[in-house]
Amino acid sequence: MLVRAHLSIFLQQVLNGLVLGSVYGLVALGYTMVYGILGLINFAHGEVVMVGALCALSAMTALQGSGLPGFAVVLLALLLAVLACMALGLAIERIAYRPLRRAPRLAPLITAIGISILLQNLAMILWGRQYHSFPPLLPVHTLHFGGASISTVQLAIILVSGALMAGLLLLVHLSSLGRAMRATAENPQVAGLMGVNVDRIIAVTFAIGSGLAAVAGVLVSANYSVAHYYMGFLLGLKAFTAAVLGGIGNLAGAMVGGVLLGLIESIGAGYLGDLTDGFLGSNYQDVFAFLVLIIVLVLRPRGLLGERVAERA
């Protein structure tokens, strides 16, 4: 009996971890794609997630009384958030990174942090400092199995993230656009000389990463039913950790790193109280992500699936 109870708790932590990890994975993809192609950590990426969530929230609030069915409102809001974030991603690339493409690496890193602060403050002005709750537009059911439970929202998070990741892998590995992206990541100069419009490919990369970030923002806000102007910061840092864990620059690595980090956090937080005899509670969850970051950076800086860091001269 006790064993079963333990098992169901464990299963619950695994499910929670998968949900969390799918979101990390989606956001980590944005970091890793940009790093792969520009060798740049786009520290404003977490803020794109936040903008996506808040845009969707505004759209839902505006459309709530329109008489449209709930799922149509959600889909419209999601679409709007994706488009807004794509435009934002394109603007960030154009304004903050493209002029600095030949500058020393420190320069775009500083503008990235600058853009991040700028977006946080703009969002604070536009949406205020308060926590916004997501309107309950869809009926949420809870599914039970094996003593654990998962809500339909959480299930949707796992399924949507999985589908988007699969789509991205298809795009990158089996299409002309994807080949051009990989060629640009490997050597932008040569890619250009083979007819690839490098500026366009970089812009497309930002647009795709930002679109994924928007979806992640909506999913995570739907899960916690809350959004606010500062939500992108911690989420962004954790997703960056996931990207480093998987091997930054590597798409599969970002997904694996995301899910793994989610599991580590969830399982770690779940048992932290037991392990420390109640001294540390599950509110220390965030410690795990950064512990992982430090351990990876010290022991295996190229990450789990990373391989090419040395090649980038």
Partner 1 sequence: MALLEAFELSKFFGGLTALDAVSLAVEAGEIFGLIGPNGAGKTTLFNCLTGLYVPSRGKVLVRGENLTGSKPHQLVAAGVARTFQNIRLFGNMSVLENVMVGCHQRSRAGALGAVLRDRATRSEEAAIRARAESLLDYVGVTGRASAAAGSLAYGDQRRLEIARALATGPALLALDEPAAGMNATETLALRGLMERIRADGVTILLIEHDVKLVMGLCDRVAVLDYGRKIAEGVPGLVQRDPLVIEAYLGGAPA
| CA end-to-end span of the chain | 58
Q: Does 79 sit near partner 1 (CB under 8 A)?
A: no
How far CA 301 is from CA of 245, 258, 307, in Å, comes to: 8, 16, 10
- Measured CA to CA, the distance from residue 92 to residue 178 in angstroms comes to 22
Question: Considering CB under 8 A, how many residues would be counted as binding partner 1?
Answer: 29
Q: How far is the CB of 175 from partner 1 (least distance, A)?
A: 3
Find the shortest distance in angstroms from Cβ 133 to partner 1: 33
Report, in Å, the least distance between residue 167 CB and partner 1.
Answer: 4
Can you give the C-alpha Rg of the chain in angstroms? 20
* Residue 171 interacts with partner 1 (CB under 8 A): yes or no: yes
Output 143 or 193, the one with its CB closest to partner 1. 193
**Cα–Cα distance for residue pair 117/68, rounded to 1 Å:** 36
Task: Give, as ranges, the residues between 176 and 235 that touch partner 1 (CB under 8 A).
Answer: 176-180, 182-183, 186-187, 189-199, 204, 208
Smaller CB distance to partner 1: residue 106 or 174? 174
C-alpha span between 179 and 183 (Å, rounded): 6
Q: Shortest approach of partner 1 to residue 171 CB, angstroms?
A: 4
DSSP assignment string, 10-55 = HHHHHHHHHHHHHHHHHHHHHHHHHHHHHS---TTHHHHHHHHHHH
Nearer to partner 1, 72 or 190 (CB): 190
Q: What are the phi and psi torsion angles at 226 (to 5°)?
A: -150, 150
Query: d(Cα 305, Cα 292) in Å, to the nearest integer?
Result: 15
Could you give the CA distance from residue 272 to residue 306 in angstroms, rounded to a whole number?
Answer: 30
User: Does residue number 94 form part of the binding site for partner 1 (CB under 8 A)?
Assistant: no
Question: In sequence order, what are the residues at sequence separation of 6 or more whose Cβ sits closer than 8 angstroms to the Cβ of residue 175?
Answer: none
What is the nearest approach in angstroms of partner 1 to the Cβ of residue 254?
Answer: 16
Question: Which among 67-75, 137-145, 165-173, 276-284 is the span making contact with partner 1, rule CB under 8 A?
Answer: 165-173
Provide the minimum distance between the beta carbon of 37 and partner 1 in the complex, in angstroms, as a whole number: 13
| Count of other CB atoms within 10 angstroms of residue 63 | 19
Task: Kindly tell me which residue out of 3, 174, 299, 313 binds partner 1, with binding defined by CB under 8 A.
Answer: 174
* Pick 135 or 192: Cβ nearer partner 1: 192
CB of 308 vs partner 1, minimal distance in Å: 7
C-alpha 283/C-alpha 16 separation (Å) is 15
Where do contacts with partner 1 occur on this chain (CB under 8 A)?
167, 170-171, 174-180, 182-183, 186-187, 189-199, 204, 208, 308, 311
